[in-house]
Amino acid sequence: MDFSLSENQLLLQEQVGKAVRCLVPMERLRRAGQEGDRFAADVWEGFCDLGIPGLLVPERYGGHGLGLLDAVVVAEELGRCATPCAFLGSVVAAPIALIEAGSPEQQATLLPEIALGTLRVGIAVSEPLAGARHDARIHVRNGLLTGRSLFAVDVAGAHRLLVADHAGGLFLVDTLARGLTMQYLETVDCTRQAFEIVFDEVPADPLPGAGPPVLERLGDTLRLALAADILGASGHMLREAVAYAGTRQQFGRPIGSFQAVKHLCADAAAELEPGRALLWYAAHAFDLALQDSHVCALHAKAYLSEAGRVVARNAVEVHGGIGITDELGLHYWFKRINWSAQLYGGPTALREQAWLAQASLEQSR
């Protein structure tokens, strides 16, 4: 038994981490999300140089053929730098959806381009995963999509959209298709964006193998990628807080020598660290399609969302007043953690799903 990352995974972590730190220094982060930069083309180019788009694409289609555990390792590094670039749609969701539900033709034509990074895919799957707000949902009639999707992500710069209807069907839509309107929604986190997408009889290419089981797997991948992002962003905030507490002097001594400050840091670390093991297991269980993988994915995101909130809050508090300023910029990570915690279901909603999934698992035994 070996519950740890492999040599290759550690190498991947190191390489991606190093590269992303160069791609996204603080001054780059400050430009994130501004009009004209929503796609962050320079960062995407960096991703392509690293081979990130092909991470999950099978080798026979020009990818690396790695698993979700590897993607999770990369996502953690992206979260650590609050990296403003598409990842969930093209790198995580599209390959998984195509591998699990695409036709051989779809796989053969789309996966190689996805691996190269020349075909980029946004995702509009929020409603069937987290429930419909404002009655936003997609219907299919005569093969055409009608309805609305809120919280579509990685849309800027995308050529296709991966869309889920409420019955668990999955479709690929051309972003230039007639009947499609996209509206940018300002969110708290400028390093990533959400779009509202209105479909009015839009032609769509269905994935023939789609259905509730694939949608469940797709949801697990997205949630684990977000959980990993939270882990990385929280790790960054904690490290910043510890470094600041070790140098900032008050009352003639470093504030980190005061027990009250120490305990804020210790509690943050104690909350966060077990989440890493749960995340690793959930991703590993996904890759092996173990029976408990869905329940564990739901728990992993719920756990890290709450732990991330503790870390984000404590880290700001340790910094005192400077912690809430734009000058320091700690807020980029604070907002990113909270954004990730809410997309595709917050902790309470996910735990209810975990309960239902567990109950049906026990019934089937």
Partner 1 sequence: MDLSYSGEHESFRREVQNFLAENARAIPKHFGVNRPTAEAVAWQRLLIERGYVARGVPRRYGGAECPPDIMRAQILGEEFARARAPLGLVNQGISMFVPTLLEWGTEAQKQDWIARTIRGELIWCQGYSEPGAGSDLASLRTFAVEDGNDFIINGQKIWTTTAHAADMMFALVRTELEAKNRYRGITYICLSMQTPGIEVRPLRTMTGAAEFNEVFLTDVRVPKHQVIGARGDGWRVSNSTLKHERGMLGDPHAALARIRNLLGLMADETVDGVSAIELPVWRDRAMRLQGRALAMKYHAMRLLTAAHKGEDLVLPRLIVKLQATELNHQIAALAVDVMGEMGLLYNDAAHSRAGGLWQKRLMFDLGMIIGGGTAQIQRNIIAERGLGLPREPKMAKL
Residues that bind partner 1 (CB under 8 A): 1-6, 69, 242, 245-246, 253-254, 256-259, 261-263, 265-267, 269-270, 273-278, 280-281, 284, 296, 299, 302-303, 347-348, 351-352, 354-355
| 184 vs 258 by CB, closer to partner 1 | 258
Q: Determine which helix (DSSP H) or strand (DSSP E) holds 196, and give its type and residue range.
A: strand 194-203
> Which residue carries 């564990």 as its tokens?
296
- Closest distance between partner 1 and the C-beta of residue 326, in Å? 27
Inter-residue contact 21 to 81 (CB < 8 Å): yes
In angstroms, what is the minimal distance from the CB of 299 to partner 1? 4
Q: Min. distance of Cβ 48 from partner 1 in angstroms?
A: 27
Q: Helix or strand or coil: residue 332?
A: helix
Cβ-proximal residues to 249 (8 Å cutoff; 6+ apart), any chain: 255
Which CB, 181 or 348, lies closer to partner 1? Answer: 348
Alpha-carbon distances, residue 262 vs 272, 322, 328 (angstroms): 15, 18, 21
For residue 229, the minimal CB distance to partner 1 (Å) is 17
CB 239, min distance to partner 1, A: 9
CA–CA dist 174, 139 (Å, integer) = 17
Give the nearer residue to partner 1 in terms of CB position, either 190 or 231: 231
Helices 212-247 and 68-80, axial angle in degrees (round to 10): 40
User: What are the structure tokens assigned to 199, written together?
Assistant: 């479909």
Check if the beta carbon of residue 187 is closer than 8 Å to that of residue 339.
yes
| DSSP bridge partners of 161 | 122, 173
Contact at 8 Å (CB) between 282 and 224? yes
- Residue 2 tokens read as 């070996």
**Residue 26 structure tokens:** 């603080």
Minimum Å gap between C-beta 335 and partner 1 is: 24
Q: Please, which residue, 197 or 295, has the CB nearer to partner 1?
A: 295
Work out how close the CB of 35 gets to partner 1 at its nearest, in angstroms, rounded to a whole number.
40
Smallest separation, CB 318 to partner 1 (Å): 10
65 phi/psi in degrees, rounded to 5: 65, 30
Angle at 26 between CA 309 and CA 244, to 5 degrees: 55
The amino acid present at 279, given as its one-letter code, is L
